Amino acid sequence: MIRRYLMAPLWFAAASAQAGGHFDVDDAGTLDRGQCQYELWGTRTRSQQTTLWHLGPACRVGPVELGLNIDRIAVAGDRLHTVGPQLKWTFLGQAPDAPWSAAVSMGATFELPRHGGRTGGQFVVPVTWRATDSLQAHANLGADWAPGTGARSGRGGLAGEWALNDTVSLIAERNRAFGLWTSRVGARFSLTPLISIDVSAARTGPGGVRGVAIGLNHEFGR
């Protein structure tokens, strides 16, 4: 039960396009030239004794954003550590005020040898529609490759992001991965133009497994 409902989605949280922080549905944007960032977040499912900690540094290198995902997953007393590279390229609508933008994101995830050294991967196409200055919609379509077996499963989701003002945005999303639907609602609080904090609550699968997450996002110049 735990592996079906929690381990697989958490395993690929590391490989997800992380410009969206801990949110499952990513936007189509990338860092500006000369900029870097790191994301630090954790998610907890108390009923299943499951915790995921994520650290994701990234930098803009030429036309693409390159990142590294480092994760620690704990499930009912067992621990799993993974690392993996991430690449993201916005090929449409790179201007900040473009009404439509689209990107491709791909990544790999490697378990550390202690757990067998299994590998997996992910490919996602994020699309963003800027309806107004304060309202955006994001759509994702892609696939995950399961660790070890290489079995492929489809991934897709929709999200809405509404900026109440310069410091608070509300985010709601519905995402499907590994045959499981997750609904998530949360908020992003901008402490400065380059530092923000995310909080959210989610329900996953037909059993409605509940989880909470909190994260820190910090962008800076090289």
Q: What is the pLDDT of residue 13?
A: 53
Residue found under tokens 């999200």: 159
Virtual torsion, Cα 176, 3, 108, 150, nearest 10 deg:
-90
d(CA 161, CA 18) in angstroms, rounded, equals 16
- Tokens found for residue 110: 């490697």
Q: What is the pLDDT of residue 145?
A: 87
Q: What is the pLDDT of residue 142?
A: 95
Q: What is the pLDDT of residue 147?
A: 74
What's the Cα-to-Cα distance from 179 to each of 23, 118, 147, 175, 182, rounded to whole Å?
A: 18, 21, 16, 10, 10
Asked if 98 contacts 72 with a C-beta cutoff of 8 angstroms, the reply is no
d(CA 40, CA 55) in angstroms, rounded, equals 5
Print pLDDT tens along the chain (222 aa): 334 445 555 554 545 545 467 899 999 999 999 999 999 999 988 777 788 899 999 999 999 999 999 989 888 778 888 899 999 999 999 888 899 999 999 998 888 876 566 788 899 999 999 999 999 999 999 998 877 677 888 999 999 999 999 999 999 999 998 888 999 999 999 999 999 999 999 998 888 889 999 999 999 997
Q: What is the pLDDT of residue 59?
A: 96
With left for phi above 0 and alpha for psi between -120 and 50, is residue 139 left, alpha or beta?
beta
d(CA 140, CA 128) in angstroms, rounded, equals 9
Total-model pTM: 0.90
Run of H or E residues at 71:
strand 64-75
187: amino acid identity, one letter: A
- Tokens found for residue 3: 């592996």
